[in-house]
Chain A
Amino acid sequence: APDTLSYLESASLMSGTLESLSGLGDDGSSIGSDSEINGLAVRRTDKYGFLGGSQYSESCEKETRVEVARQREVKWLDMFHHWDKWIKHRFQKVKLRCRKGIPSSLRAKAWQLLSNSQELLEANPGRFEELEREPGEAKWLDIIEKDLHRQFPFHEMFAARGGHGQQDLFRILKAYTVYRPDEGYCQAQAPVAAVLLMHMPAEQAFWCLVQICEKFLPGYYSAGLEAIQLDGEIFFSLLRRTCPMAYRHLKKFKIDPILYMTEWFMCIFSRTLPWACVLRVWDMFFCEGVKIVFRVGLVLLRQMLGSVEKLREVQGMYETMERLRNISPDSIKEDLLVQEIVALPVTEALIERECSVQVRKWRESRGELTHQPGRRLHGTRAIYEYKRRAAAISSGGSFSFLGSSVPPPGPLRSSSSLLSLPGFRKSKAAAGQRAPAPQSPLIRTAAAPLSPAPKIVSEQITPTIPSPTANNAPLPPLPDPKKDAGAPAAAAEEAREGEEKRRRKMEPRLRKSRPR
Chain B
Amino acid sequence: MEAIWLYQFRLIVIGDSTVGKSCLIRRFTEGRFAQVSDPTVGVDFFSRLVEIEPGKRIKLQIWDTAGQERFRCRSITRAYYRNSVGGLLLFDITNRRSFQNVHDWLEEARSHVQPHSIVFLLVGHKCDLEAQRQVTRQEAEKLAGAYGMRYVETSARDAINVEHAFTELTRDIFALVRSGDITIQEGWEGVKSGFVPNVVHSSEEVTKSDRRCLC
Task: Spell out A's residues near B (CB within 8 Å).
Answer: 20, 22-23, 143, 146-147, 149-151, 153, 186-188, 190-191, 221, 223-226, 229, 252, 256, 258-260, 262-263, 266-267, 271, 308, 311-312, 315-318, 321-322, 325, 366
In chain B, what residue has the closest Cβ to A366? B75
- Are A23 and B35 also in contact (CB < 8 A) when A187-B17, A187-B68, A259-B43 are? yes
Q: Is B139 an interface residue (CB 8 A)?
A: no
SS class, residues of chain A in contact with chain B: helix
Instruction: Tell me which of A147, A229, A325 contacts B44 (CB under 8 A).
Output: A325
Task: For A263, list chain B residues within 8 Å (CB).
Answer: 41-42
Q: Is the CB–CB distance between B35 and A229 below 8 Å?
A: no
Q: Is B183 an interface residue (CB 8 A)?
A: no
Instruction: Tell me which of A226, A312, A322 contacts B208 (CB under 8 A).
Output: A312
Task: For B138, list chain A residues within 8 Å (CB).
Answer: none
Q: Is the CB–CB distance between A149 and B36 below 8 Å?
A: yes
Q: Is the CB–CB distance between B38 and A271 below 8 Å?
A: yes
Interface size in chain B (residues, C-beta < 8 A): 33
**What are 24 A-B pairs with beta-carbon distances under 8 A?**
A23-B34, A23-B36, A146-B17, A146-B18, A147-B39, A150-B39, A153-B35, A153-B36, A187-B40, A190-B39, A223-B70, A223-B73, A229-B76, A256-B79, A259-B79, A262-B41, A266-B42, A311-B204, A315-B204, A318-B45, A318-B61, A321-B45, A322-B45, A366-B75
B20 to chain A, nearest CB (A): 11
Task: For A366, list chain B residues within 8 Å (CB).
Answer: 75
Task: For B199, list chain A residues within 8 Å (CB).
Answer: 252
Q: Is B66 an interface residue (CB 8 A)?
A: yes
Complex Cα–Cα for A311 and B202 (A): 13
Task: Spell out B's residues near A (CB within 8 Å).
Answer: 17-18, 34-45, 47, 61, 66, 68-71, 73, 75-76, 79, 189, 198-199, 201, 204-205, 207-208
B144 to chain A, nearest CB (A): 25
- Are A188 and B35 also in contact (CB < 8 A) when A312-B207, A312-B208, A315-B201 are? no
Instruction: Tell me which of B41, B73, B204 contacts A187 (CB under 8 A).
Output: B41
Task: For A23, list chain B residues within 8 Å (CB).
Answer: 34-36
Q: Is the CB–CB distance between B35 and A22 below 8 Å?
A: yes
Apart from A258-B76, A260-B42, A262-B43, 13 more pairs, CB < 8 Å: A150-B36, A150-B37, A150-B38, A150-B39, A186-B68, A187-B40, A223-B69, A223-B73, A225-B73, A262-B42, A266-B41, A271-B41, A315-B201
Task: For A143, list chain B residues within 8 Å (CB).
Answer: 17, 68
- Are A188 and B41 also in contact (CB < 8 A) when A20-B36, A153-B36, A318-B47 are? yes
Q: Is the CB–CB distance between A258 and B47 below 8 Å?
A: no
Complex Cα–Cα for A10 and B81 (A): 49
Q: What are the 6 tightest A-B residue pairs by CB atom distance, in nearest-first order?
A: A262-B42, A23-B35, A263-B41, A187-B39, A153-B36, A146-B18
